[in-house]
């Protein structure tokens, strides 16, 4: 049975534990630091920060942006939310929490944003493990690369939300 993950907004009570989350050093280029993401959320309208909890323990973090602005007028950005800064803490990776977290994130995004048709994300071409994990979770590869990332070209992946018709 897969682990159960709850998706909760980062509030003052969760913030210290969420700030303590970190990925392996070789993953930082792909994900960044939670503190930087939380700072962006504070100044970006439409951004939401979420803690990913296994039981009562924060094990991960994700940022959801109501609009996929980074891709501009790309057709996939229309009607999409952007999934950003998704991570499972380095000490908890390899336990099936990432797959469970993505399923919980999909449900939460569909509930919070019923007018959106898909979740869109970019993942660095050098991050093959993440590409495989997202594809196992049902993400489709657009077949195009996004070249706006600071760590190099990225695959554009998308996940159809329940009300959408891919």
In the chain, where are the structural domains located?
5-160
Whole-model pTM over 0.85: yes
Average pLDDT rounded to a whole number, residues 32-58: 95
Report the pLDDT averaged over residues 62-79: 82
Quote the CA–CA distance of 116 and 111 in Å, as a whole number.
10
Supply the pLDDT for residue 73: 72
Averaged pLDDT for residues 25-50: 93
Instruction: Using the predicted structure, report yes or no on whether residue 62 has a pLDDT greater than 70.
Output: yes
Phi first, then psi: give them for residue 90, nearest 5 degrees. -55, -35
Query: Look-up: residue for tokens 């009607």?
Result: 79
Average pLDDT on 140-161 reads 85
Better-predicted residue by pLDDT, 75 or 57: 57
Distance (Å, rounded) from C-alpha 120 to C-alpha 26?
24
Region 52-60 average pLDDT? 96
Q: Does residue 2 register a pLDDT over 80?
A: no
| Predicted pLDDT at 166 | 45
Return the pLDDT at 165: 42
Q: Which of 30, 80, 83 is nearest to 61 (CA)?
A: 83
What's the topology of domain 5-160? Aminopeptidase (3.40.630)
Average pLDDT for the chain: 90
Q: Residue 70: its pLDDT value, please?
A: 65
- Please report which helix (H) or strand (E) contains residue 166, including its range: none
d(Cα 131, Cα 32) in Å, to the nearest integer?
A: 17
- Closest to 10 measured CA to CA, from 75, 58, 70: 58
- Residue 35 and residue 18: Cα distance in Å, rounded? 9
Joined tokens for residue 140: 């489709």
Number of continuous H segments (helices) and E segments (strands) in the chain? 5, 7
pLDDT over threshold 90, residue 149:
no
Asked whether the predicted pLDDT for residue 132 surpasses 80, the reply is yes
């Amino acid at each position: 049975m897969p682990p159960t993950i709850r998706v909760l907004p980062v509030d003052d009570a969760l913030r210290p534990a969420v700030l303590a989350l970190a990925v392996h050093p070789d993953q930082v280029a792909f994900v960044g630091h939670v503190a930087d993401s939380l700072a962006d959320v504070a100044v970006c309208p439409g951004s939401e920060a979420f803690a990913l909890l296994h039981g009562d323990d924060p094990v991960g973090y994700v940022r959801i942006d109501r609009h996929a602005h980074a891709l501009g007028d790309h057709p996939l950005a229309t009607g999409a939310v952007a999934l950003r800064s998704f991570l499972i803490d380095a000490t908890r990776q390899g336990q099936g929490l990432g797959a469970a977290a993505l399923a919980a994130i999909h449900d939460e995004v569909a509930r919070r944003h019923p007018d959106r048709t898909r979740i869109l994300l970019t993942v660095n071409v050098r991050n093959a493990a993440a590409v495989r994990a997202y594809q196992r979770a049902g993400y489709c590869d657009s077949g195009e690369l996004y070249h706006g990332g600071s760590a190099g070209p990225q695959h554009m992946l998308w996940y159809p939300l329940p009300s959408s018709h891919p």
